[in-house]
Amino acid sequence: MRKLPLVLNLICLPVFADVSAYLDRNTITAQDTVRLTLEADSRIQQEIDFSPLYRNFQFLGSKQLTLSSHAGGDSQYRTRWEVLLRPKSTGEINIPPLQLGLESSNSLQLKVLSGAARESGLQGEQVFIEASLDTNEVYQDSQLIYTVRLYHAIELLPDTQLTDPYLPGALIKPLGEQARSTQQVRGRNYSVIEQRYALFPGQTGTLTLDGPIFEGRARQDNSQIQLQARPLEVAVIPPAYQSARGYWLPATVLTLDDDWQTGALPNTAATSLGENLSYSISMTATGLPASRLPSLAPPAGANFDISVDSVELAEDVSEQGLTSRRTEHIVLRPHTAGALTLSPIDITWWDLNTDSARNVALPEHLLQVKPRSPAAEAALAMAAALPQPRTQADINTAADKSSPHAAINAAAATAASVARLQQALNESRLLIGLLTVISLISSLGWLYTFNHLRQLRREEQQQAQQEEMRRRRKLLMAHQMAEKNTFQALAMACQQNNPEVAKLRLVEWAQNFWPDQHIFNSEDISDAARSQTLDFLILDLEQHVHQDDKALWQGDLLLEAIEKLRDRRPEGYEAAPLPELHFASG
C-alpha cells in the first residue's frame, strides 16, 4: 500500500502543455498590487509551485479556472491561474519561470516605482496630466475611448515613460502613436503629449480606471518627476442580448460582404465537378477588436464540403476608435453535378448609435455545378485503361505460373489491355479534333473582339477631339469677351488721364489680348508687343505713376497705340476656326 501514492504521483507528474505568463501591468508603484496570469493549453489538475515568487512579492491569493470552447465538433480546454501579488521592493523585479510538470512559463519584468506617484498635478504647474473618457457608461465588451494628455512647460529628458491605463478585466489597445503639440494654458505655453486608448471592459459593475503613470526627469536640474492621472469611475452594464451562436457584438458600424472569384453574378456562381470554388467573406466593425469578431463560414451541405483555407485579421485606427476586419478565405468542394444552394449568412449585432439590435446578412447563393468536361472524362478513361506498373511480386508470381493455361490467360489479358488502349487513343484523337475546332472559333472571336475594340477606341478619340475643340472655342470666346471689357476699362482710364488706374487696366487687357503668354507687369507687355512706340509710352506712364506729377499725364497717345495693336489682328479674328487636333491612331 505504501507504493500506491508513489505510483499515482508518477502518473500525474508528466504534464506536456504550453504555459504562458503575462501581467496586467508592467509598471506599478510600491503601494499597488499586480495580477499575474498563467495559462496552459490543456485541462490540468496539478498545482503550480509558486514558491519562487515569495522572495520579491507578498502572496495575496490565487485561483484556478478551466476554460472550454467548442467549435466544429471539437472541444478545446485551457487552464488559467490568477495570482495577486504586492512587491516587497522597488526597481526592476524579475518574475522567474514557474514550473508545471515538465514545462515552464516565460520570465517577466516588472518595474516598481519608489513611493506613490503624485496625482495628476494642477493646471499652471510645470508638469501636469489630464485624462478624459468619451462616456462614463458602456456595455460589457464595447469600446471606451480614453485620452490622456501630458502638459510640460519645462524640457524633459528623452528617457520619459508613460504607462498604459489599467481597468480590471479589460482589453486595452493604444490608438496609434503619441501625438505632440503645443498649447497655451492660463497664459503659459506648454508642450503636450497626447495618447488615445481603446478600452474593452470584460466585467460588469462600477469599475475604477487607474490612470497611466508618468515617470521622467527635467533636463534643467535632472530632477525626478512622477505623476499619475486621476482615477475615473466607469459603469459597465451587462450585454443587452446574446445571439443564438453565443456572441455579443456592440459596435457603431458593422458590415458584411463576400467576394466570389468566378466573375459570376452576385447571387449565382458556376463551377465544374471536380473543381474547387474559392471565395471570401469579410466582416468590418467599428468599435470592436478583431479578436472578438465571430466565424463567418456557412455550414456544409449534403452535396458539398466547405473548409476555411485561411483567416486574415486587420485593425485600423481612426477618430471613431478601432475599426477591425475579419476575412475568411473559403474553399467549396462539390460532390455531385447540378444546382446547389449555399444558405444565407445572418449576423445580429448591437448598434450603439441607436441602442438597438440590428441584422446584417448575405443572401443565399445558387451554385451551378456542371458535369465533367469531355477532356476530363477522356483523361480519366485513359488513366483507367492504361496498365498499372508491375511490382517484383507480380513478376515472381507470373514466373511461377508457367502452365499453358496461365499463358493463355495472360495473352487474353494483354489483348484486352491493348484493345482498351486503342479505344482510349481513338477517344483522344476525337478530343484533339474537338479542341482544334474550339481553338479556331476562339481565335475568330478574339479577332472580332479586337476589331470591335479598335472601332470603339476610334469613336472615343473622335468624341474627345470634338470635346476638346468645343472647350478651346469656349475659352477663346471668353478671352475675346474679356479683352473687349478690359479694353473699354483701359480706354476710360486713358480718357480720364488717370495713370494709376490705366497701369492696372493695361496689364489686365494685355493678359486677355495675349492669353498664351505669361504677363504680370509692364516688361512682359513690352516683350509681347515688340513696339518701340508702346515701350516709350509705357515708360512715360511708369514715370508719372511714381512721381508727383500724375495730373500732367495724358492718356490719348497710349490709347492710340493700343488701338493700332488691336487693328493689326488678322481679319476675322473673332470668327477664326480653331486648329484641328490630331490624335495618334490606334
What pLDDT, in 10s, does the model give residues 259-312?
Answer: 875 444 444 555 667 678 888 999 999 999 999 999 888 877 777 888 888 899
Please give the share of the chain, as a percent, with pLDDT higher than 70. 81
Q: CATH 2.60.40.10 residue ranges in the chain?
A: 127-237
pLDDT tens for residues 344-395? Answer: 888 999 999 999 999 998 888 787 777 766 666 666 666 666 555 555 555 5
Burial class (CB in 10 A: 0-12, 13-18, 19+), 113: buried
Per-residue confidence band for 575, with pLDDT thresholds at 50, 70 and 90: very low
CA dist., res. 327 & res. 360, Å (int): 16
pLDDT (0 to 100) of residue 544: 81
pLDDT tens for residues 82-137? Answer: 888 989 888 889 999 988 877 888 999 998 877 655 566 667 788 999 999 999 99
Q: Is 2.40.30.10 the CATH number for 127-237?
A: no
Which strand (E) or helix (H) includes residue 87? strand 74-87
Q: What does the CA dihedral 200, 202, 205, 210 come to, rounded to 10 degrees? A: -60
Topology at the third CATH level for domain 19-113: Immunoglobulin-like (2.60.40)
Per-residue confidence band for 520, with pLDDT thresholds at 50, 70 and 90: confident
Between residues 339 and 210, the one the model is more confident about: 210
Using CA of residue 19, residue 23, residue 24, residue 26, what is the dihedral sign?
A: negative
Between residues 574 and 584, the one the model is more confident about: 574
Between residues 32 and 211, the one the model is more confident about: 211
- Judge whether residue 480 has pLDDT over 80: yes
pLDDT (0 to 100) of residue 384: 62
What mean pLDDT, rounded, does the chain reach?
Answer: 81
- Judge whether residue 582 has pLDDT over 50: no
Between residues 95 and 416, the one the model is more confident about: 95
224-236: average pLDDT: 89
Which strand (E) or helix (H) includes residue 449? helix 404-495
pLDDT (0 to 100) of residue 204: 92
463-475: average pLDDT: 83
Phi and psi at residue 98, in whole multiples of 5°?
A: -105, 135
SS3 content of the chain, % helix, strand, coil (to 5): 30, 35, 35
User: How many other CB atoms are found less than 10 A from the CB of residue 530?
Assistant: 8
Phi and psi at residue 244, in whole multiples of 5°?
A: -65, -25
**Picking from 357-361, 474-478, 558-562, which range would have the lowest pLDDT averaged per residue?**
474-478
Per-residue confidence band for 198, with pLDDT thresholds at 50, 70 and 90: very high
Look up the CATH number of domain 250-370: 2.60.40
